[in-house]
Structure 1
Amino acid sequence: MFGINGAEFVVLLVVAVIVIGPERLPRYAEQLGAFVRTARGFLKDAKSRVDEELGPEVGDVDWSKLDPRQYDPRRIVREALLDDDDLMGTSSRPRSASPVPPPPPAPVDADGVRVPAPFDDEAT
């Protein structure tokens, strides 16, 4: 929590005892405990209100599908472009071996000899 390990926490406690002093430390610890209890009550109340507003169907949502780390644009495009039958593997269309179209034929001159493709030095 907050990136503080055990040794750093002990150092902070020692500094707090020195700065605050042993006379005022119990009162501040009591105030901190009351603040933590109040904050937990607010969070519990907010959670119950959110659950009440969203209703029981929010429990049926698979939140792991909405994880941005699971985002794969290729899968999303593939699913959007395929028919529902294609997803089930029962498509009436024959599947091609490769979904990528073949490259265009190389340019040829008037004698039918292949020439290098034109080069555009202004293209970026």
Structure 2
Amino acid sequence: MTTKISESLLEHLVELERILLEPSVRQSVNRLDQLLSPNFHEISANGLMFNKAHIMSRLPSEKVPQFYNQSFIGQMLSADIAQLTYHAAYRHSARAPLHYSIRMSIWKKVAEQWQLIYHQGTPCPEFALQYE
């Protein structure tokens, strides 16, 4: 049974999603280890599946793409598991075309900290970007 997510938790999880895009966090094995669950899995927009070990070996040396995310919706799947869905657009350089996707993340509260346990990106039609 799903329940409504509190506004403060939604804001916190959106902040964590955006923190994961910061170069300093992506390059920090310690910070990634804190944010990603030991059981983390991702299905990328091109259908590839990655686990935490792969992400930890790849992200610290990967160039961070230009990334926009917006239209976040959250719901509680249980008392300690939250789901976020949102629209994302990214490109690898300022002159590259944007790639659009719908993203879904599942966060689990472990002790007093939220960790990402699952993330998926699915390509979607172009949408209007809302610059904040």
Q: Larger RCO: Structure 1 or Structure 2 (Cα < 8 Å, ≥ 6 residues apart)?
A: 2
The structure where helix makes up a greater share of residues is 1
TM-score range, shorter chain: under 0.3
Normalised to the residue count of structure 1, the TM-score between the two structures is 0.21
> Higher Cα Rg: structure 1 or 2?
1
